[in-house]
Amino acid sequence: MTKMSRITTTTSTTLDDLQKSTGKTKQKLIEIAVEKLYNEYFVYKANKAYAKLKKNKKAWQEELKEREIWNQTLIDGLENE
């Protein structure tokens, strides 16, 4: 299903330029841009959550202990299979 959205003239011109340069459709370019923005926002939220976690010394120490447990799985020999 497709939906219509209004964009500014500036954005439309930028899309035209990108379409000419990349050969991708405007729809694909918008899809790529939205996915990139979504991924950047995900990382931003994750970084913010880790910063909050680090402020709680007890919770941060628990996080580090859990990471150590998970790191041990890397040396379990499965990479040889």
62, pLDDT greater than 80: yes
Average pLDDT, the chain: 91
What is the tens place of the pLDDT at every residue in 5-34? Answer: 999 999 999 999 999 999 999 999 999 999
- Quick one: tokens of 79? 């990479």
Establish if 3 belongs to a structural domain.
no
Which whole number is the average pLDDT over 48-72? 93
- Work out how many domains the chain is built from and give that number: 1
Structural domain of 31:
9-80
Establish if 24 belongs to a structural domain.
yes
pTM: 0.71
- Quick one: tokens of 66? 């859990």
Establish if 1 belongs to a structural domain.
no
Establish if 38 belongs to a structural domain.
yes
pLDDT band at 38 (very low <50, low <70, confident <90, very high): very high
Say what the pLDDT of residue 80 is. 58
Measuring CA to CA, how many Å separate 46 from each of 21, 68, 69?
34, 20, 21
The H-assigned helical ranges of the chain are 9-22, 26-55, 57-72
- How far apart CA 37 and CA 64 sit, in angstroms, is 30
Q: Are 30 and 15 in contact (CB under 8 A)?
A: yes
